[in-house]
Amino acid sequence: MGRQGEAHWLIGSLLVLLLAYSSTALPASRSELSRWLGDVVTPELREMLSRHPRYRGQSLQLLHAGANGLADAVVTVLTINLRGREGIELYSPAPQPLPVSASPARIDDLQCTSLEDGRLRLLVSAVAAGKRKGQVRIALVEPGAATGSTHSWEWRGSLSRAERETLGVSRAPQIADGSMVAPWGGQDIEQAAQDMQRQLACALRPQVATRLDLAWFEASNLPPLLADTVHRSRHLLGSYAELGFAEESPDYRLAAEVTAFSADVWQLWLKGVPQSNGLAPVQAVAYFRHQPPPAQPLITPYRRTAGAPVTPVHERGDALDYLAVEMLDASLGRERAGSAELQVRLRLENRSEWPIDYAFSLSGGHYQHCVSEPAQYRHDRYGRLAGRLEAGQSVVRPLVIRGAEHRPNPWFGARKCAGFRSLEGFEHYPASGDSVTEYVRWGL
């Protein structure tokens, strides 16, 4: 038996061993999922991780994005089949929690570089997809995750009896870091507040000349976990010498917004809206696992027609799975003295039977010396596109960012060319849409 045949046999056998513990009889042959993992995913991953100069030798952490036994089993199978391969380094220790020390007294002392440790992450999710069927997604996420996953594999098909049973077995959630994969929980208020105030303070720091005054709107109707995080974040933010709170003539107005992404996962935004010209919008975002749902719901049930039964939003699945986005083009629009418009045209399609509310935000700015390298990028403005798609509706919408600096041929000084930080979220929306999605939810 050759090496490739051995790999296929090993994957099939392992899935049988991992998934058949609840079954009285072993399957006679490999399942559809086993064949997909053995014939498609594992060979491609081995080739990419061991040979591609971008990934070779990087530390790789495998995580289950869906807290169930099937995702956990697939992670185990992939771990066994990637471990020990030349050029592939697997990360095994649990990631360290965020520091919870007091905020620095001065904002310039704040560490604003990414807390990511440079690891690649391979995220595995598994969900039911109808009678006796399932859907498995494997995504490779680069350090920082700012641009979402760079490669992904998806499978949808029939599950064996053991696989179906294992899909229904709950697994403990991953160590929390506030991401969609590992949301904060009730025991993480201090760490969540530390992370959110750090995000906000780092966004505010470039706007500080000597001092910024902030007006903070008290959040209402928040579940205790989110309310406590918001209040603690406000307290920590007020510890900086350069920041203060004032209702009269503030530089920024800050408010909290909450969006439900599933039955028990919520997205919390802290947003700062500038009150004068020359200041850029700021924001911090994190995900929280909160169960049971708040006593006073943040989502209102939607009625399809008068007299029809009320269907809670979360019973329809994730709205993000039903929104198709295609980037048609990106271009430089109308130019004015020293600035230009950046334009992206998108085709949006609602593939569900219910309305979907959506909002996208995208960074626009310029590249110093007109060199399109990440280190040369400077943010100028955000563009935002929001609206509603009715069931089955398809539209083409422009997302416009105005006021990006653009001086390609200046009389004096450095050249500056308007451009985007990253369009990958729109170019590869099924895999990277979360990098530009502000929210996608069922219509309220």
Three-state SS annotation for 17-50: HHHCCCCCCCCCCCCHHHHHHHHHHHHHHHHHHH
Share of residues in the chain with pLDDT > 70 (%): 77
Distances (CA, A) of 176 to 63, 90, 185, 346: 12, 20, 7, 34
From 415, 418, 421, 419, select the one nearest 405 (Cα to Cα). Answer: 418
- Quick check: 278 pLDDT over 80? yes
Using the structure block, give the residue that is written with the tokens 């081995």: 46
Do the beta carbons of residue 154 and residue 136 sit within 8 Å?
yes
As a whole number, mean pLDDT of residues 392-403 equals 89
For residue 270, give every residue at least 6 positions away whose Cβ sits within 8 Å of its Cβ, in sequence order, or none: 196, 199, 200, 230, 233, 254, 255, 256, 283, 284, 285
Helices 3-19 + 42-51 axis angle, to 10: 120
How many Å apart are CA 438 and CA 68, to the nearest integer? Answer: 27
Provide the pLDDT for residue 10: 45
Distances (CA, A) of 69 to 16, 19, 51, 92: 13, 8, 31, 19
Do the beta carbons of residue 365 and residue 377 sit within 8 Å?
yes
How much is the mean pLDDT over the chain?
Answer: 76
pLDDT in tens, 321-340: 889 999 888 888 777 788 89
User: Cα-flanking dihedrals φ and ψ of residue 407, to 5°?
Assistant: -135, 75
Provide the pLDDT for residue 3: 42
Query: Measured between alpha carbons, how far apart are the two ends of the chain, in Å?
Result: 58
Question: Which pLDDT band, with edges at 50, 70 and 90, does 15 fall under?
Answer: low
Q: Among positive and negative, which fits the CA dihedral 385, 390, 392, 393?
A: negative
| Residue bearing the bigger pLDDT, 116 or 370 | 370
How many Å apart are CA 349 and CA 249, to the nearest integer? Answer: 42
Using the structure block, give the residue that is written with the tokens 């007020």: 238
As a whole number, mean pLDDT of residues 435-444 equals 77
Provide the pLDDT for residue 179: 73
What six digits make up the tokens of 207?
């706007």
Lowest mean pLDDT across 62-66, 84-88, 131-135, 259-263: 259-263
For residue 107, give every residue at least 6 positions away whose Cβ sits within 8 Å of its Cβ, in sequence order, or none: 201, 204, 205, 208, 240, 241, 242, 243
In 103-237, beta strands by DSSP E: 120-128, 133-141, 149-158, 212-216
From 94, 231, 276, 290, select the one nearest 174 (Cα to Cα). Answer: 94
3-state SS class at 236: helix
97 DSSP 8-state letter? P
280 DSSP 8-state letter? -
CA atoms within 13 A on the CB side of 226: 30
Question: Which pLDDT band, with edges at 50, 70 and 90, does 113 fall under?
Answer: low
Do the beta carbons of residue 401 and residue 317 sit within 8 Å?
no
- Quick check: 384 pLDDT over 70? yes
What six digits make up the tokens of 100?
């919870």
